[in-house]
Amino acid sequence: MSIQKSEIMLDVNEKSVNAYLASGGGPGVLLLHAWWGLKPFFKQVCDQLAEQGFTVLAPDMFDGQVARTIDEAKMLAQGSDSQAIGDIVMAAKDHLHNITKNKIGVMGFSFGAAWSLVAANHDPEKISAVVLFYGAYPTEFKKIKSKVLGHFCEVDEWEPIEGVREMEANMKSAGVDVTLHFYPGVGHWFMESDRPEHDSASAQLAWERTFEFLKANLS
């Protein structure tokens, strides 16, 4: 199908923030990038989702900065202003909701996965589906009304399985409908085709599960 792609500017506290919009004309998905910044891979994911019919918005949480190495990414993440990033995420969420007029999904990778949970907790009336890629966060879960799908590694130095299982248990005790998949023999960032950790078979399975989940829970 033909999709529309554009770079747009979001007004966040009277400051312009860049975002990438790819539209297939259907339900909205807010995509939150990993600590690398809004690198080309995440725009490609937006396009992939748009080709499945979704309207996808990916805000740039790092003001145009893109890390090429883990050390650079660490500096970007550690040097970021949590309040400012939270404001960007909420502004992007509201902009996408205004475009689509319906409940949206939020998809986050690692650093962005944590912010996906923050958004779902902050505005449960607008978000009906959350997809997490190898990122967890010990936020408040009782407010969350969305269904949650997560993709994690069985062994992950960046996101240990013990913490992920604890998050899962806390979600379930809070009444959240959560399904987590654990992929054996892969490393953090296994979804990202520009990373050496990329695993095509696991990534393909995760995408299939994700598309099915989003189509079932967004309308």
CA distance 180 to 62: 28
Tell whether the model's pLDDT for residue 1 goes beyond 80: no
Per-residue pLDDT, averaged over 83-108, amounts to: 96
* Band (138; pLDDT cuts 50, 70, 90): confident
Chain mean pLDDT for the chain: 96
Segment 97-113 mean pLDDT: 96
pLDDT of residue 57: 98
Does the pLDDT value for residue 140 go beyond 90?
no
In this predicted structure, the answer to whether residue 210 has a pLDDT above a threshold of 90 is: yes
Q: 115-124, pLDDT tens digit by residue?
A: 999 999 999 9
Amino acid 20: pLDDT:
98
**210, HSE (Cβ side, Cα atoms, 13 Å):** 26
Residue 143 has pLDDT above 80, yes or no: yes
Grade residue 49 by pLDDT with cuts at 50, 70 and 90: very high
pLDDT, tens digit (0-9, with 9 covering 90-100), for 144-177: 999 999 999 999 999 999 999 999 999 999 999 9
Write phi, then psi, for 10 (nearest 5 degrees).
-100, 140
Q: Which of 54, 78, 76 is nearest to 212 (CA)?
A: 54
Average pLDDT of the residues in 102-106: 96
pLDDT computed for residue 50 by the predictor: 97
Query: Which domains are assigned to the chain?
Result: 4-217 (3.40.50.1820)
User: Comparing C-alpha atoms, which of 43, 40, 209 is closest to residue 132?
Assistant: 209
For residue 95, what are the contacts with CB-CB under 8 A and spacing of at least 6?
10, 19, 57
Q: What is the model's pLDDT at position 139?
A: 84
The pLDDT of residue 58 is above 80: yes
Alpha-carbon span 26 to 37, nearest angstrom: 26
Q: State yes or no: pLDDT of 84 exceeds 90.
A: yes
pLDDT of amino acid 219: 73
Which two tokens mark 27?
């339900």
As a whole number, mean pLDDT of residues 75-82 equals 93
